[in-house]
Structure 1
Amino acid sequence: MITPVLPTARTAYGRTAAADESATAWALAARHGDADAVEHFVRALHRDVQRYVAHLCADPQAVDDLAQDTFLRALGSLHRFEGRSSARAWLLSIARRAVTDSHRHAPARPRLSDAADWQRAVESAQPRGLPGFDDGIVLLDLLAGLPAERREAFVLTQLLGLPYAEAAEVGDCPVGTVRSRVARARATLIRLLEAAEQPAGPPAA
């Protein structure tokens, strides 16, 4: 039996340290009113924000609005960004707060979608060709069943490729907690994948 390989921080979306450094440089340049830098900054990180928000948000129709809200908040706060962490970690922290605020301000709003719609929203923000998966669809289906905190830690580190220390900043928890959540998430996903690959038993007589 060949078990599909779970994506890792290195392979997930081809994210590299150089890409983070570039996005951070654009953010720092944008602080001083460089319009081109603002455009590059938004373009470099827009997909990451959408993916992260889609995994946190139960309403797929709100993903684009929350991503836009994230960038509006970020652009309004760029003058305070000093590059102590990567611009991506800083931006995802803002995205997390935007989702939290959305939930807090609309506690009675009915859900507009079911799990299938949630998955389609995430899929629409996914790149193709995740290693060992059919366009990442199997992974998304399994991720939906993880506890929220483990799913978030897995998405941040294994799908978005954020270093554990920066994922801890985004999730506002210790690094050890992130590592524990990711390890448990990976163990659960591997177990579910192996179970899914087991051949079905003979039909009942």
Structure 2
Amino acid sequence: MTVTVLPAPRAARVSADAAATAWALAARSGDPHAAEQFVLALHNDVLRYVAHLSGDPQAAHDLTQDTFARAFGSLHRFEGRASARTWLLSIARRAVADSLRRAAVRPRIADTPDWRAAVERTQPRGLPGFEEGVALLDLLDALPDERREAFVLTQVVGLSYEETAGFTGCPVGTVRSRVSRARATLERQLLESEAPARRAA
């Protein structure tokens, strides 16, 4: 099995970023249609980002809603100096960090002795691309946090290396190195996972 995740072409992404930023600025003035378009333009990017960053696809929708709630609460301060996408992803990052902090201090209680099996039984099965998506999440989850974030931002969300550097606060060369190492690790893991099937064939 080979999983490929490619970002949108740069020209299309730049155009989409400009449109999303324009919607955000218009929504700041109280335009409900602009607010709706702002959410529609960036919802999937936020959803993918929080799912990968948190490592918890089940909580991704709640984290996405939290991100937009925070964004609308501070939209009056958004001036368009950065793209709306970069601004929104920085809010998403804080939402995930806050969620992880809350989870770390919350007691975990299960009303069944085999809670892992119970969780697995609730997972969807038979959906198109489901197994590949689970495999990709498992592979990404094995990466160190910094490499996973750089890979997701550039290869899944589609930010440029420069945008990712500004977003994460590290040099562009560091971002390139993290993405390169993440890609090498993922390729090695994929080859290792496919090795038994190739030997059997």
Structure-1-length-normalised TM-score: 0.76
Cα distance in 2, alignment partners of residues 178 and 192 from structure 1: 21
- The CA deviation at 1:199 is 4.5
**Aligned match of 2:174 in 166, 172, 177?**
177
* 8 Å Cα contact 2:20/2:42 also seen in 1: yes
Instruction: Note the alpha carbon deviations across 1:182-204, whole angstroms, 9 max, x for none.
Output: 010001111122222324547xx
Cα distance in 2, alignment partners of residues 56 and 35 from structure 1: 30
**Aligned match of 1:100 in 91, 97, 105?**
97
- Partner residue, 2:84: 87
- Partner residue, 1:67: 64
Q: What amino acid is aligned across from residue 147 of structure 2 in structure 1?
A: R
Percent identity between the aligned chains? Answer: 62
- The CA deviation at 1:177 is 1.8
Q: Relative contact order, CA 8 A, sep 6+: which one is greater? A: 1
Q: What amino acid is aligned across from residue 56 of structure 1 in structure 2?
A: L
**Aligned match of 1:153 in 150, 153, 157?**
150
Structure-2-length-normalised TM-score: 0.78
More helix by share: 2
- The CA deviation at 1:8 is 3.1
Instruction: Note the alpha carbon deviations across 1:42-61, whole angstroms, 9 max, x for none.
Output: 11111211111111224444
Instruction: Note the alpha carbon deviations across 1:110-158, whole angstroms, 9 max, x for none.
Output: 56886x86xx69xx9xxx77xxx97544433321221122111111100
- Partner residue, 2:5: 7
Q: How does 1:13-162 map to 2 (within 5 A)?
A: 16-110=13-107, 136-162=133-159
- The CA deviation at 1:106 is 4.1
Q: What amino acid is aligned across from residue 27 of structure 2 in structure 1?
A: A
Q: What amino acid is aligned across from residue 102 of structure 1 in structure 2?
A: S
* 8 Å Cα contact 1:150/1:182 also seen in 2: yes
- The CA deviation at 1:34 is 1.0
Unaligned runs of 5+ in 2: 110-114
- The CA deviation at 1:15 is 6.1
Unaligned runs of 5+ in 1: none
Q: What amino acid is aligned across from residue 41 of structure 2 in structure 1?
A: A
* 8 Å Cα contact 1:15/1:161 also seen in 2: no
